[in-house]
Amino acid sequence: MMSYLETKNGFGHYSAKPIRSESAETTIELIIPRHFAGARLDQVLAQLLPDWSRNRLQAWIREKRISVDGRDAIPRQKVWGGEKIEVKPAHCSIETSHAAEAILLDIAYEDDELIVINKPAGLVVHPGSGNWQGTMLNALLHHAAQLAAIPRAGIVHRLDKDTSGLLVVAKTLEAQTSLVRQLQKHTVTRDYLALVLGQVSVGGWVDAPVGRHPVQRTKMAVIASGKEARTHYRVQEKFDESTLLQCSLETGRTHQIRVHMHSIGYPLMGDPVYGGKPKKSILEAMRLIGFSRQALHAQKLELTHPQSGMRMGWEAPLPEDMSNLLLKLRQHQ
């Protein structure tokens, strides 16, 4: 059996902390924190057990793998705090998904408090449904074994699998607390280069809430019930049928830039989920260089160092595939 203790970190959020045992059967036990009163069980478990998606947890509820105070949980069940939860995971275990793996990391900066990584397109940041190994988290545990003691191995924000660029990882609990607080206060600067379809005449911003799509649950959308989201954009370069933008995040919602730009009629080039239909010349340019992802790169990152208090910044050059795509577009001008 694997038990979980409710632990409160320095920035007011709760997580499930594992206590390992030698039993062959794995059962997770935890107590629902009081501040989740009135919330749905699947939503609470998705926060306390981030190694599994909410869809997977919902499936386990239907399969009667989750109990509340000794009784089988039911779909859409609410909790009020203090309930004893037991989860019997199926298939992949936490130990497997959190195994250290010798995966090369492109490290832009590292000290005793944090690591700044230039993530390549194609690398998943955190294990999840369909991607239990070969992730950046697995690579981090191999690079710095002490990260096993930090929730999510110190990962405080993410990039989509097919988005390249910079993200920061905390190496201590104190650094993690500081970085999360900075993210919450919107004092971490995150600038992206985004190649969008259509000609954007001037810069601006999108201030529209982002949440789970009401029908297509694997997608996000601008929706009234979503979370506050704000993206600023500036024109960097114009092409015949596309525009290179610099996008700056105030908030960091899932797929935020992709959803926001799609919502105003300028979807990201190559986006398989939110992208529009490119003109023939763009399709030809993408085909010639084999470009098959959303054209989004986290170019700049700036934050306050958790220990020294100094403001620090980094910039990652465009990866080769996106540089080659821009070159092809310029040739068609």
Active site residues: 160
Q: What distances in angstroms separate CA 264 from CA 55, 232, 267, one per listed residue? A: 29, 13, 8
Beta bridge partner(s), residue 8: 14
